[in-house]
Structure 1
Amino acid sequence: MSTYYESLHPATLYPEAFHVAAPAVPVGRAVWPRQPGVFIRAAQSAGAQETAAIEVAAEAAEVTEITAAADVDQPAREALVRELVAGQFGLVPRWVKSASDAKLRSTKLVNARSETVTTSNNFRDAWLGGQRCIVPMMAFMEDDWRSGKAVPTRIARVDGKPMGVAGLWESWTGADGEVIVSYTLLTVNANSHALMSRYQQPGNEKRMVAILNEGAADAWLSARPEKAREFMRAYPANWLTANPVEKKS
C-alpha cells in the first residue's frame, strides 16, 4: 500500500512530461494522506459530441498501447484536452454525510484495488462514471520489512523520469456547500513481481500502484469503463529502481 509519494520537481516537468500547466500553488515534495496534491484528468468543459469523438479516437489508440508501450495515435492525442486539478490525496466518496466523516475515511482511501472498483461502495461511482485521472509523481514509497523493521524505500523509474499513476477522482459537496475534490491511486497485485514482491508487511498480499506506459495517458483518460481495466497491469520490474530513504539525523 502506497501511503505517500514524491511530487514532480522542478515544476517545469508538468508541461514537459504531461503537457499541462504547472500548479498555480506549489505542491509539497512529499504528499501524504489528506494533504493537497494534483492530478490530471480530461478537461471537464468538453461537450457531449466532443466527448464521444474523444472516446472513439482513444479506443482506436488503445490497441497500440495495450500491445506495446508505444505512443497513442495522433488523432487521439489531439482530440483530448487535459487539465491539472488540485485535490486532496485520499478519496472522499459522494455518499459521505459530513466533512468530519470525510476526513476520517479519506486517510484510508488513498489506494483503490483495481479488481474490486466496480463492487466497492467507496470507488464504484467514480469508476463507472469515468472519473479516471493520472497522478504525476517522481517516486512512490514502500516499506521494506526484510530486516524485521520497516525501512522506507523510494521506488522510481530507472531513467529518473516522472511517472503517471492511474487513479480515480471525486468531488464531494457537503450540506453547507463545502466542496472537497479528492483522488486515489489504483493498485494491482504484485505477489509475483520481481521487485515489488519484496516490500510491504510479510504475509500480506503485495500490491503496487498502476503505472501507465508512456503514451497511454489519453487512451486511459478516455476509455469506456469496460476497456479501462485493460490498463491495470504491473509495471516491468526492470524499468524501476528501489533505494532506501536516508533518515535525517
Structure 2
Amino acid sequence: MPTHYQAASEPLHFAQRFGLAFRPEASIVRPGEQGLFVRRPRADDTAQDSLARFQIAPGRWGLIPLFSKDGQDLHTHEARGETAFAERNFYQPWKRGHRCVILADAVFQDADIDGHTVRVSRTDGQPLALAGLWNGWRSPAGECVESFALLTFGVPGRPEQRRTAILRDAWIDDWLHCPVEETAAYLRPYSDDKLARHTLPTGSVRAA
C-alpha cells in the first residue's frame, strides 16, 4: 500500500488536465498530512463558477468519516476498491459520488528489502492521476474539515500486496462525473510497461 506520495508541482499539469490556474508547491505527503485533490465543484459552493467542471481543494490524507467524534480516525488513508462501497468508513462518500483525483509525480511503497522504498512513477514523466474518495466532516466546533483517501486494489496471486489505483488520462473526466454505479469500472490495473519502479534507501526519499 502507499506509504507517501510526491505531489505534482507543475502548474501546467493542472492547467492541461483540469483547466485550473493553480501554482502547487513541491511536497512529500504522508498519511495524516495535508494534500490537494481535484473534484467536481460542490453544489453548495456559490464561490465557484457555475460552469466549472473541476475544483481543487486542500484536505487531510486520511478520510474522516461523517460519524467520527474527534476527526482522529486511523487507517483511513487507503480505501479498498473491492469493498469500499460497503465499508463503514467509506460507503457514504462512495454512494454520494465523492470521487477525486490526486496528481502525484510519484507514489512510494514499502519494498521487500528492509530499509528500502519503491518509487513508482510514469515512464513518460507525466504525473500519476490517483483515484480517491473525499469527505467533508463537521467538527464539534462547527468547522468543516475536508479529507480524502486513495483507492487501492489487490495484486493477483499476492494478497498481502496492494497497489494504488491509477487512472488513465482519458478516464479522468469520466471518473469524476460518472454515475455511482459505474465507479468500480475505472479501478483497473495501470499498464506496467508505462510505469517505472525504482528501489531506494528509505532515507534518500525527499521532495524534488
TM-score normalised to structure 1 length: 0.74
Kindly indicate whether residue 194 of structure 2 is the aligned counterpart of residue 239 of structure 1.
yes
- CA distance 1:43–1:9, shift in 2 (3 Å): same
Partner of residue 164, structure 1: 129
The AA in structure 2 aligned to 1:93 is P
Query: CA 1:17 to 1:81, structure 2 compared with 1: closer, same or farther past 3 Å?
Result: closer
Partner residue in 2 for 1:87: 59
* Letter matched to residue 29 of structure 2: V
Give the Å deviation of 1:17: 3.7
Matched, 1:205 2:160: yes
Do 1:112 and 1:187's aligned partners in 2 also have CA atoms closer than 8 Å? yes
Report deviation, 1:13: 2.6
Query: How far is 1:175 from its partner?
Result: 2.2
Question: What is the CA distance between 1:29 and its match in structure 2?
Answer: 1.3
1:151 pairs with 2:151: no
Offset, 1:89? 0.8
Distance 1:208 1:225 in 2: 22
Pairwise CA distance, 1:191: 3.0
> In structure 1, what residue type is equivalent to 2:60?
Q
Instruction: Give the match for residue 11 of structure 1.
Output: 11
In structure 1, the residue matched to 2:48 is none
Work out whether residues 27 and 38 of structure 1, in 8 Å CA contact, stay in contact via their aligned partners in 2.
no
- Counterpart for residue 38 of structure 1: 36
Matched-pair contact (CA < 8 Å) for 1:27–1:37: no
Larger radius of gyration, structure 1 or 2?
Answer: 1
TM, length-normalised to structure 2 = 0.87
Residue of structure 2 aligned with 1:123, choices 90, 93, 111: 90
> Residue 9 of structure 2 contacts residue 25 of structure 2 at CA under 8 Å; is this kept in 1?
no
2:103 aligned with 1:136: yes
Question: Considering only aligned residues, what root-mean-square deviation do their CA atoms show, in Å?
Answer: 2.0
| C-alpha contact (below 8 Å) 2:95/2:180 kept by paired residues | yes
Q: Which blocks of at least 5 consecutive residues in structure 1 are unaligned?
A: 48-78, 198-203
Query: How far, CA to CA, are the matches of 1:97 and 1:28 in structure 2?
Result: 32
* Counterpart-to-counterpart distance in 2, 1:121 and 1:20: 33
Measured after TM superposition, the shift of residue 113 of structure 1 is 0.2
| 1:20 and 2:20 matched | yes
Q: Percent identity?
A: 28
2-structure distance, mates of 1:191, 1:205: 10
Does the CA-based 8 Å contact 1:191-1:205 persist in structure 2?
no
Whole-Å separation in 2 of the counterparts to 1:10 and 1:134: 16
Aligned residue in 1 for 2:27: 29
Q: Whole-Å Cα distance in 1 between the matches of residues 43 and 167 of structure 2?
A: 24
Q: Distance in 2 between matches of 1:9 and 1:156?
A: 14
- Report the CA distance between 1:46 and its aligned residue: 8.1
Q: Which has the higher strand share?
A: 2
Partners in 2 of 1:133 and 1:144 — Cα distance? 27
2:54 partner letter: R
Change (3 A) 1:27 1:180: farther
Q: Cα deviations across residues 37-80 of structure 1 (Å, max 9, x unaligned)?
A: 11010112489xxxxxxxxxxxxxxxxxxxxxxxxxxxxxxx86
What is the match of residue 174 of structure 2?
Answer: 219
Greater helix proportion: 1
Match for 2:22: what amino acid? A
